[in-house]
Amino acid sequence: MAPTSVSKKRKRSEAGDDAKASFVLSTQSKSQLGPVLANFPSVKPSKSTTFSCYQTGGNAKAVGDADDAEFVDLPTLIAGETDSVDFHSANQATGCRYLVGVHDKKTGKTTIRPAPLHILSRDVKALKGQEPIAVSVLQRLEARAALGESFGTKKAKLAIKAQERNKVDVSAMETVVDHLQESIQKSTQALPSKEEAQATADSTRLVPPYNAEATVPSEVYPLHNIIPETEWKTLSEAPFLVVGQNQRIPLLPFQRSKW
């Protein structure tokens, strides 16, 4: 007789326990501390490091008293320390709302409570009170080149060598500075001054010479600067003074024009 196989399926009574799970909101006081979410963007602390949450001065949202405000809206601070490092809140994240749930297997209820998110930073205790040493641009470039020579790729090392070859030796340029200044002075002696350059530009203008000291529009362009006086005397004023249209035909450049 074949042995009976043991069924590995869960009983309906056991499966029905999970179906009774429900979510409820926390009933503790709104201003009671906790829970809190923490984010460590740099070095994470060890599991044995303890942190404490403190309420700072002021109100995050000036709505009612602090006892009526929710814990997630209160200004809080997280701090913790080890033998060598201090951790503290650098920023309290805003714009998103986070919820923390605690599930009770006996009752099948998951208690949900809002929780603030803190971005933590660290300070090394041995470096507190010490000011950083000022570093020049040349020192930064030298340190960067040394780092590239040690850990850079072949392409990066070739680029560093090319920069070294193209570097200008300032000490070698000190002997030719005087010669450069003399050659520059000789070259600039032939250049016109600002007033001479302006006068040359005005003389080559395509418009008639103007009177910069004129006080009325009619004096800006004197008549004889546009038409020389000798040419003006040769012009006949009669065609301009007559009223008839046929008598103005001699003024046209093409007398047979129908214009």
**What mean pLDDT comes out for the span 170-182?**
76
60 pLDDT band (50/70/90 cuts)?
very low
The residue ranking higher by pLDDT, 97 or 31, is: 97
What local confidence, expressed as pLDDT, does residue 57 receive? 67
Question: pLDDT, tens digit, for every residue of 39-49?
Answer: 887 778 888 88
255 pLDDT band (50/70/90 cuts)?
low
Whether 123 shows a pLDDT value over 70: the answer reads: yes
Residue 117: name the closest of 32, 34, 37, 35 by CA. 37
The residue ranking higher by pLDDT, 145 or 131, is: 145
